[in-house]
Amino acid sequence: MGMPFDHIASTYDSLYIHSPVGLLQRKRVWKYVESILPELKGYEMLELNRGMGEDAVLFEEGGFNIIATDISEEMLKVTQKKAEQFSMQNKISSHFLDLETFDENLFDKKFDLIFSNFGGINSISPASLKSLFKKLPQMLNPGGRFIGVVMPRFCAWETIFFILRLQFGKAFRRLSSKEIPGDPSTSGKTWFYHPSQLKEWSKENFSVVSLRPIGLALPPAYLEHFFSVKRRWLLRLNRLEKRFTQSSLFSGIADNYIIDLRLT
């Protein structure tokens, strides 16, 4: 039986990465990571649930040595093909990793940055996420960072969109503390986490460096079909996104949020 996301690996780029909406949100994340590079003591990076490896390719260009991990073997193959395509095999390696069960001593080195983009840690249960925050300190160098892009328990865009369509179950689905079936195309499960939950679960070993909304003015990627013919609207929303996402205030109501934690 294939793992979640195996069967959509070949189309994931066009669905979630190269769409205009998805790319604008992703650029906000890339810009933030770029801004903290001078603060890192080294450039060893572990990427968790890294999808198609788009981030790994970009970060390699920034000087990182990257181990990109995922539970999907097919996703890993796509990442490795990209590394070969851009002659980055010596800087990017792919590794199977199940975030629910992995051993923190799996790798023979420690990292300066552990990164998980767009919902990577939303694919694991609260118990596993708490366990992850206990494992991370053993995997990081002193002063190392964990940066996650997480889906919160409420999204203003999503709630308004589904209320207007009279789909009230979907409008408030994120408020559930239980697992939610993922997109039918992925066969995975999803949990949503308020920023306060991650702060609480990580406070023993980490301090919060930054918390910022991603997708506050910009819509979720699944509204791509609507905005594909309204590019001017999208550009205006992107300008608003740049203006209002420098503060942590709206992190709990955006499509996603960045949480940046430093090992203490």
Return the pLDDT at 228.
Answer: 74
According to CATH, the superfamily of the domain at 6-263 is Vaccinia Virus protein VP39 (3.40.50.150)
Spatial contact of 177 and 235, defined as CB atoms under 8 Å apart:
no
- Tokens 């990580």 -> residue: 202
Instruction: Write the pLDDT tens digit of every residue in 103-116.
Output: 999 999 999 999 99
Indicate whether 183 pLDDT > 60. Answer: no
Question: What is the band of 229 on the pLDDT scale with cuts at 50, 70, 90?
Answer: confident
Structure tokens at 206: 């980490």
Return the pLDDT at 73.
Answer: 83
Q: 208 vs 233, which has greater pLDDT?
A: 208
Return the pLDDT at 9.
Answer: 34
Question: What is the band of 96 on the pLDDT scale with cuts at 50, 70, 90?
Answer: very high
CA distance 22 to 24: 6
Q: What is the mean pLDDT of residues 197-216?
A: 97
Indicate whether 193 pLDDT > 50. Answer: yes
pTM of structure: 0.87
Helix pair angle (20-36, 231-244), 10° resolution: 30
- Tokens 């300008």 -> residue: 239
Task: Delimit the domains of the chain by residue range.
Answer: 6-263
Return the pLDDT at 1.
Answer: 34
Spatial contact of 44 and 60, defined as CB atoms under 8 Å apart:
no
Indicate whether 184 pLDDT > 70. Answer: no
Q: Which residues pair with 263 in a beta bridge?
A: 206
